[in-house]
Structure 1
């Protein structure tokens, strides 16, 4: 199976979610199923069926997270020498050449991506356009609004 790149923070967040699902959510659902069983006939017991459905979602997510963590390649850019090259995990400050608007992005794994927080997936068009580029390079990125030219003004490994 292909390794899934993720930042140290991304792996920590997945481990926290896994811990919550196993130690809080799973016991809550088991308790809800037990309580619903006490209400008698399971065929027409909506609470029982809802709890079983939640159990299915919870167990599925636990398996998904365990699989991702087992196949993860955790990349800690803070331990790498920063030579100004954009790599997975790097935080990049760009200036839109036309508008002088600055944007900051960190290139992260798919699970960590949150554009509102400036976290972009390594598989996104923007990240794919940036990977391998260097400080002071000009880069054309195809955005929903068209082709935009950016200058790379900062590359940080934080």
Structure 2
């Protein structure tokens, strides 16, 4: 099985979520199940069934996060010496060659991607077109809406 890349910030967020699930959610779900059981007949007890469903979801998420953390390669982009190249974790300032619209993206792992916050997955078409390029280069992106060109205005390792 191959290692999944993850930024240091992404790994920390997963650890925080895991800690919350184990220390806050698990005990509250256990208490909800105990309270629902005290109400009597479990066959027609909606509270009990809802708590069990939440417990199942929470336990599944805990296992998923633990698996991701055990099978990830944490990359601290501030320690990477990429000599100005776009690499995993880099923050890239782009200008659309056609419209001149400027955007900034950080290239992150699939689990960390959030386009609203400017984080794109390393497997996205834009990221794949950017990897290996330098400031001043033009990246040609085969997007679902057609071919787009971006001028790379800056590459930072934050």
Distance in 1 (alpha carbons) for counterparts of 2:138 and 2:37: 64
Residue 31 (str. 1) matches residue 15 (str. 2): no
Q: Which runs of 5 or more residues in structure 2 are unaligned?
A: none
The residue aligned with 1:90 is: 90
Instruction: Tell me how far 1:2 sits from its aligned partner.
Output: 1.7
In the TM superposition, 1:40-59 aligns within 5 A as: 40-59=40-59
Relative to the length of structure 2, the TM-score reads: 0.97
Q: How many matched pairs?
A: 158
> C-alpha deviations, 1:62-114, integer Å up to 9, x for none?
00000000001000110122411011000000111111111100000111100
Contact 1:82 1:156 in 2 (8 A): no
The residue aligned with 1:109 is: 109
Tell me the C-alpha RMSD between the 2 structures.
Answer: 0.9
Distance in 2 (alpha carbons) for counterparts of 1:72 and 1:144: 29
Distance in 1 (alpha carbons) for counterparts of 2:71 and 2:144: 32
Distance in 1 (alpha carbons) for counterparts of 2:136 and 2:108: 21
Q: Which runs of 5 or more residues in structure 1 are unaligned?
A: none
Contact 1:33 1:52 in 2 (8 A): yes
Distance in 1 (alpha carbons) for counterparts of 2:73 and 2:82: 19
SS in 1 for 2:29: helix
Distance in 2 (alpha carbons) for counterparts of 1:90 and 1:138: 16
Larger displacement relative to structure 2 (135-144 or 148-157)? 135-144
SS in 2 for 1:128: helix
**Post-superposition, which runs of at least 4 consecutive aligned residues in structure 1 deviate over 3 A?**
none
